[in-house]
Amino acid sequence: MIFTVAIDGPAAAGKGTISKAVAARFGLAHLDTGLLYRAVGALVLAGADPVVAARTLNPADLEGDHLRTPAVADAASKVAVIPDVRLALVDFQRSFARRDGGAVLDGRDIGTVICPQAEVKLYVTASAERRADRRYQELVGKGLDVTPQGVLDDVRARDARDSGRDTAPLKPAEDAIIIDTSDLSIDEAVERAAAAIAAKWPL
């Protein structure tokens, strides 16, 4: 069975949580494509060339708590504007999307560029303030030294960079279902996504 669920949206809107939950519920493989860009960003912070890092990325590069820090998120969104970095990551994402058994991919350009033929396209969003607040709680929970204003500034800077770039900018696919999680609980958001998938599920 080939069945792709594309879940796009800005940072900290809830894509990751929703993706994991629906992948488990429907028995689909899951790829967090942000991790690919974070891994390249982390390698660049360690001195690598971004395009070389993207072309030679290997599974071990995708492991580690350091990938979840604000510094790496910022580096990820900087390398993500480089067309050759994006190009180097396309084939892996496309084959994952069309792998037998079905897949959920979450990112910024899955429904628009990586897999426009995805059976289900969701665009998960929320206000910048709600997203920053959630990300702040998450980072504090991990013991990171951050301020609410600093996290909000980072979220806004990343939004501007992700939406404003020329190659594969962040935007909903024309046929995407928009899920605004600003006033939804996690369960409510997951149920909306699950209902959209169930409506397209092959019998």
Q: Does 38 bind ligand C5P (CB under 6 A)?
A: yes
Residue range at the interface with ligand C5P (CB under 6 A); choices 21-29, 58-66, 69-77, 141-149: 69-77
Q: Give the footprint of ligand C5P on residues 96-115 (CB under 6 A).
A: 107-109
Tell me the DSSP string of 66-131: GGGSHHHHHHHHHHTT-HHHHHHHHHHHHHHHT-TT-EEEEESSIIIII-TT-SEEEEEE--HHHH
Q: Residue 172 burial by CB count (10 A; 0-12/13-18/19+): exposed, middle or buried? A: middle
Q: Does 34 bind ligand C5P (CB under 6 A)?
A: yes
Half-sphere exposure at residue 128, Cβ-oriented, CA atoms within 13 angstroms? 13
138 versus 201: smaller Cβ distance to ligand C5P: 138
171 versus 201: smaller Cβ distance to ligand C5P: 171
Candidates 22, 80, 124, 155: give the one binding ligand C5P (CB under 6 A). 80
Q: Please report, as ranges, the residues that interact with ligand C5P according to CB under 6 A.
A: 11, 33-34, 37-38, 73, 76-77, 80, 107-109, 158, 162
